[in-house]
Structures are given as C-alpha cells and as structure tokens.
Amino acid sequence: MRRRWVIFPLLAVGITLGWKLAHRRPFSARLAWFLGLPGVRSLARAEELAALLELQPGMQVLDAGAGPGRLTIPLAERLGPSGSITALDMQPRMLELVQQQVEKRGLTNVRLLLAELGRGTLATLEQESYDRVLLVHVLGETAHPVATLQELAAVLRPGGRLAIVETVGDPHYVRYRRVREQAERVGLRLIAERRWLLEHITIWEKPHQTGREKGAA
C-alpha cells in the first residue's frame, strides 16, 4: 500500500519535468515520439487541413515547422509527383526523421529545408514560391510571431493560403484573438475558420494586388 502512494509524487515530478522540457522553444526533437501518439495524431489531421486548404495535386506546399513530418508525409502523397512539399524546421534531427519517412515511403516530392522562421532567410530565398503553407502548433514557438507571419505571407503566391492551427494543451498555445490580430497585421485575409473548445483552425489568404497597388510598385 505504501509503495502505491509513492508512485503519485513520482508521477507528478515526471509530468512536471516533461512539461518544462516541452515548454522549451522549439519543441525538442527528443520528444518527437510524442507527436506520433494516437491522440496527438487525431489533432489537425492531414485530410482535414487538405480539405480546408483545397489542396490539389501539383501544388507547391510549405510545412513550416514540420517536426518529424506528421503532416508532411501524407500531404506529399496527396500532392503526387507533379507537386511538392517543403519540410522546414530549425532542428536538423527533425529533418532527419522526415528523411527516414521519405525513404521508407519511396517519396520523391519532399524537399528538406533547415531554417528558422521569422529571420528573413526563407523570404529572401523563396519569394512567392508556394500555393499553400501550414503552420501547425508552431506560431507560439517562434521568437518573433509577427515576423514569422510576415515571412510566410511573402513566400505565398497571390491568392495562396495559410493554415494556422492552435490546440489547447500545447505548451506554446496562442489564443484565437491573438492569431487574428497578428495575421491581419501582416495583411492576410481570413477566409475560413473552424473553432471548438480546445482547438482553432484559421485559413488565411494572401490578397491579389489591386491595379492601383501594381501601378505604385
């Protein structure tokens, strides 16, 4: 009986330490296994995001903060050989895990990119290169959220779409109102949303330039 009571404080300590480790920025590659758990896989499902983004074969897609490729791999399969998806992450180990899955599935349309969001590197290299961008449980991990969204807007083609997903329980959760404020600040337009108690998904579009804006440029 006494041994059973000892388990509870040990469990509490373990949970506390795990939460502190997860709360570090970015989400540690040592915890990549956690993203493969059944309950986690049911959040922000690839098929749901593909439908909300109206993803089509042949599109160019960016998975910003791809982690071990939980979304990268199924979306690559949906895009087919005529399309491609870039898995971006700032941790080399995460990209190694993506590469392992790419080789296992025999995919040829996945590109790996080591970069940190919000630093301008991506925007410099790939202006208006993508039809769709995913930012899933990542915004709160970035050092400069507004700069990150500004950079992602820059790499979207006019009319391109960005999906932002935030789920309660994520150590870096960003509230719905804050996401809207930051995305609108960089000129993105909200075109769809799906909200419930524990999660919100917002779909943003990069507006086409008006004739007056083109003339000013």
Fold classification of 2-216 is Rossmann fold (3.40.50)
172's CB contacts (< 8 A; 6+ apart) are 23, 25, 27, 137, 138, 139, 140, 141
Confidence class for position 117, pLDDT limits 50, 70, 90: very high
Arithmetic mean of pLDDT, 88-108: 95
Residues in the chain: 217
Q: Check residues 2 and 158 and name the one with the higher pLDDT.
A: 158
Does the structure show a pLDDT above 90 at 180? yes
User: Which stretch of 61-70, 108-117, 122-131 has the lowest confidence by average pLDDT?
Assistant: 122-131
pTM here is 0.81
Proportion of the chain above pLDDT 70, given as a percent = 76
How far is 69 from 55, CA to CA, in rounded Å? 17
Strands 84-89 and 60-64: parallel
Note whether 199 and 168 are within 8 A (CB). yes
Confidence class for position 86, pLDDT limits 50, 70, 90: very high
Q: Can you give the pLDDT at residue 18?
A: 45
Note whether 143 and 109 are within 8 A (CB). no
